[in-house]
Amino acid sequence: MSAVRNIRVVCVLFAVTVSLWVVPTSFAGEVFDAQDLYRRAVPGVVWVDVSDGHGSGWVLDRERRLIVTNHHVIEKDAEPCVVFPEVRDGRVIAERAFYITQKKFFVGRVVMDDARHDLAIIRLDAMPESAAELPLAPEQVNPGQRVHSIGQPGASGGMWVYSTGNVRQVYTTPDDAKDRPGVRIVETSVPINPGDSGGPMVDDEGRVVGVSVSYIVGANLVTHGIDAREVRDLQQRFVLQQDATAMLRRFSRQVMAAAW
């Protein structure tokens, strides 16, 4: 009888221990919905068309009509054209031919170009009402964190293509590196192909954590994004530049007015 009691006690203790590890559904939060994330993020992702090819980009600032992409996407074209996704019957039109024949391009001008960090900011003359601003993540990502990308890979028959993976590591390249020296990099397992460059890498909340930039040939899903912190620094430099320009213009007007 004592042996039976001991077995019962052990069983009870095991059940209690397991129950402490199992998180009730009501406390676990909502299940992640990749389709919902895509629907929310895709209005902020664009196709960047340049004279010698194309890349991707995303809306940094809707009010100022600012688009972020890679330097290597626009380095040979100071006035790229930008295309936004269109939706029909609740789905994104993914056929490239539709956008080419419709010719719904928005003309842009490169206003910030940072070759070292492989980043650029494009200002558009106009932006559609459907465009959505993608917020920057407040903190850097960590290894193991899930990330998602949307881009325009040339090898795909479609556009606004979704991929997902995990952060492998976050680090800064050496100052003497041949490419992008001293740049904060997010290394991931998210598939990246030519044409994806400049597109956003977002977290589960749809906040930008990186900018798709490259992949390692011959490696198994080793891809790179420029850390969103570099984008924030570039944005701050742009704002300071705009403020200085505005101040100079006001000063010039005052001087001219005084001369008259």
Domain boundaries, given as residue ranges, for the chain:
34-124
248 pLDDT exceeds 90?
A: no
Q: 50-87 as b/e, with b when 16 or more CB fall inside 10 Å?
A: beeebbbbbbbeeebbbbbbbbbbbeebeebbbbbbee
Is 57:45 a contact under the CB 8 Å cutoff?
yes
Out of 3.40.50.720, 2.40.10.10, 3.40.640.10, 3.50.50.60, select the CATH number for domain 34-124. Answer: 2.40.10.10
Is 214:226 a contact under the CB 8 Å cutoff?
no
Beta strands in 105-198 (DSSP E): 106-114, 119-124, 146-151, 161-172, 184-188
Cα–Cα distance for residue pair 78/250, rounded to 1 Å: 27
2 pLDDT band, cuts 50/70/90, is: very low
Is 79:107 a contact under the CB 8 Å cutoff?
yes
Q: Which residue has the higher pLDDT, 51 or 257?
A: 51
The predicted pLDDT at position 52 comes to: 86
20 pLDDT exceeds 50?
A: no
What pTM, to 2 d.p., does this model score? 0.82
Strand pairing of 53-61 and 184-188? unpaired
178 pLDDT exceeds 50?
A: yes
58 pLDDT band, cuts 50/70/90, is: very high
Give me the mean pLDDT over the 17-41 stretch: 64
Please state, for a pLDDT cut of 70, what percent of the chain lies above it: 82
247 pLDDT band, cuts 50/70/90, is: low
Q: What mean pLDDT is reported for the chain?
A: 86
| Residue 181, CA atoms < 13 Å, CB-side half-sphere | 4
257 pLDDT band, cuts 50/70/90, is: low
92 pLDDT exceeds 60?
A: yes
